Structure 1
């Protein structure tokens, strides 16, 4: 395992463990507050935090696997295990959103049917405020670290933290209205939670779509491919870079390209040329970038003429 991969794994472990500890304390605290404060919304919010703990465990497990170097059974490394972790976390996020949606709809229907939702206690309000603050800080901490080490599973987990903060915000609004504004406003709790569930579904859908596209070998964005070709073409002695193929393997970019050089160029010279191109591409896109360069002889005017008139050969 390279030094970069080791540092990356340690960073993922450290950030995720911090999130795991925070989620543990929040989950227990919110569950106790929901039970003592007679708030079903806060109990549901506590369940959401427990789901965050589960995704933290997923990130820790897959970070260890994805950091493994290439071997006989995984010639391109284990990076896509992290993509799989991202999809698992996103599916968990969608399940959480679905649970909040179902709970909200049931509560709204109950109010419409004339049922009076219970008035929550002040302890539930305090717990919601603490949860919002803690989870937003945790989101910013995790997403910043995830983007720094280019970890999609960490970014997905960060959004799971923010979904918990948004869930707590909806809970706070609902509890606040029910607590301060009287019986008629108690429907605000499930209505706010319903809006939050839609937002959670949107986040989960975007993350799942990106993960599936990566597993299906989608090419890198056009602007990235143009930058690759610009770097290759800028090397003296290189002509007509073509047949560029790109993909993402977890956090690692993989690229294959064909180049043409003077047919009289020695093997040693063409090899040093490809080594320099590879160095520049890794400098641009990261030291773990996988680069494959195929060298072809540059076609002369006679070669093109023969291709145009094959019968003359």
Structure 2
């Protein structure tokens, strides 16, 4: 089993476990929202359903990304995972927007003298259960994502946390409505509006990073600097130019022209290229995609 296949299997297993819990949680929220007379909990259930959709997208993407390189995809399928992570980030934008608009509309209703329906205890219990389950899924998914360095899974972990955060607002609103009653029902939409901006921030960070990768952005300045130091500190390398960097899935990709003593034999020059390559692979992984062109130093 290849490294990429093993990595893909781990990612799919973790994401599938999250999907199953999302399905159970979504059904429970819908039931609690209907029988607990809570429009906030029904909206929260819709949010959980969106997690189910993105889980499916991530599973399909990770399966595809785990396939080895072939004649049509000679650099592998890593970009599919990046595309899925970008999709999750964009989905978070729309979810945050939905929560914001829904919260503001309820606040306007209260300001115009209308009363929102007081929810039941089952809705509060569902909100508490949602926070615990979704925060647990966030930690479980993020731990696995960091272990296998999966941007798609990191994005999905934050999607879990966004659901937990929205459920905090739901819990505060429902709890305030039950305990205080009357106009205090406005606590629910007010908390939702505040939390929507937290979701927007997470969505921006995830989307920007992964869309940048799809646009073939260079690696972070710190990584590029380290690559440069690795190249120029290799014995036999006199200079370099035309360095290009990017990321393909979880792997770095570099193109560089190194300059060596023009009096070296072809074998000696080739050995210097191999040394540069080996040093970079030892730092950035065996799956790194490296193209090193050797030129005489004139």
Return the TM-score normalized by structure 2: 0.97
Q: How far off is 1:49 after superposition?
A: 0.5
CA–CA distance in structure 1, aligned partners of residues 88 and 272 of structure 2: 43
- Mapping for residues 221-240 of structure 1, pairs under 5 Å: 221-240=220-239
Q: How far off is 1:70 after superposition?
A: 2.2
- 3-state SS in 2 of match to 1:186: helix
Q: Equivalent residue for 2:51?
A: 52
CA–CA distance in structure 2, aligned partners of residues 185 and 286 of structure 1: 56
- 3-state SS in 1 of match to 2:290: strand
- Mapping for residues 55-134 of structure 1, pairs under 5 Å: 55-134=54-133
CA–CA distance in structure 2, aligned partners of residues 189 and 25 of structure 1: 24
Q: How far off is 1:171 after superposition?
A: 0.2
CA–CA distance in structure 1, aligned partners of residues 266 and 68 of structure 2: 30
**8 Å CA contact 2:5, 2:67 repeated in 1:** no
Q: How far off is 1:276 after superposition?
A: 2.1
CA–CA distance in structure 2, aligned partners of residues 254 and 107 of structure 1: 50
Q: Equivalent residue for 1:147?
A: 146
**8 Å CA contact 2:166, 2:192 repeated in 1:** yes
- 3-state SS in 2 of match to 1:51: helix
CA deviation vs aligned residue, 1:229-266 (integer Å, no higher than 9, x gap)? 11112221111122211001121110111111111211
Q: Which moved more, 1:130-139 or 1:229-238?
A: 229-238
Q: How far off is 1:156 after superposition?
A: 0.6
CA–CA distance in structure 2, aligned partners of residues 198 and 235 of structure 1: 48
CA–CA distance in structure 2, aligned partners of residues 132 and 95 of structure 1: 21
Extract unaligned runs of 5+ from structure 2. none
CA deviation vs aligned residue, 1:4-46 (integer Å, no higher than 9, x gap)? 1011101101110110011111111111111111111011001
Q: Which moved more, 1:6-15 or 1:199-208?
A: 199-208
- Mapping for residues 284-295 of structure 1, pairs under 5 Å: 284-295=283-294
Q: How far off is 1:155 after superposition?
A: 0.6
Moved over 6 A (4+): none
Q: Equivalent residue for 1:303?
A: none
- Mapping for residues 24-39 of structure 1, pairs under 5 Å: 24-39=23-38
Across the two proteins, how many residue pairs are aligned to each other?
298
The yes-or-no answer on 1:259 pairing with 2:258 is yes
CA–CA distance in structure 2, aligned partners of residues 78 and 7 of structure 1: 15
CA–CA distance in structure 1, aligned partners of residues 2 and 76 of structure 2: 15
Q: Equivalent residue for 2:197?
A: 198
Q: How far off is 1:272 after superposition?
A: 2.0
Q: Which moved more, 1:216-225 or 1:162-171?
A: 216-225
CA–CA distance in structure 2, aligned partners of residues 78 and 47 of structure 1: 32
RMSD: 1.2
Q: Equivalent residue for 1:274?
A: 273
CA deviation vs aligned residue, 1:288-310 (integer Å, no higher than 9, x gap)? 111111111122xxxxxxxxxxx
| Larger Rg belongs to | 1
Return the TM-score normalized by structure 1: 0.92
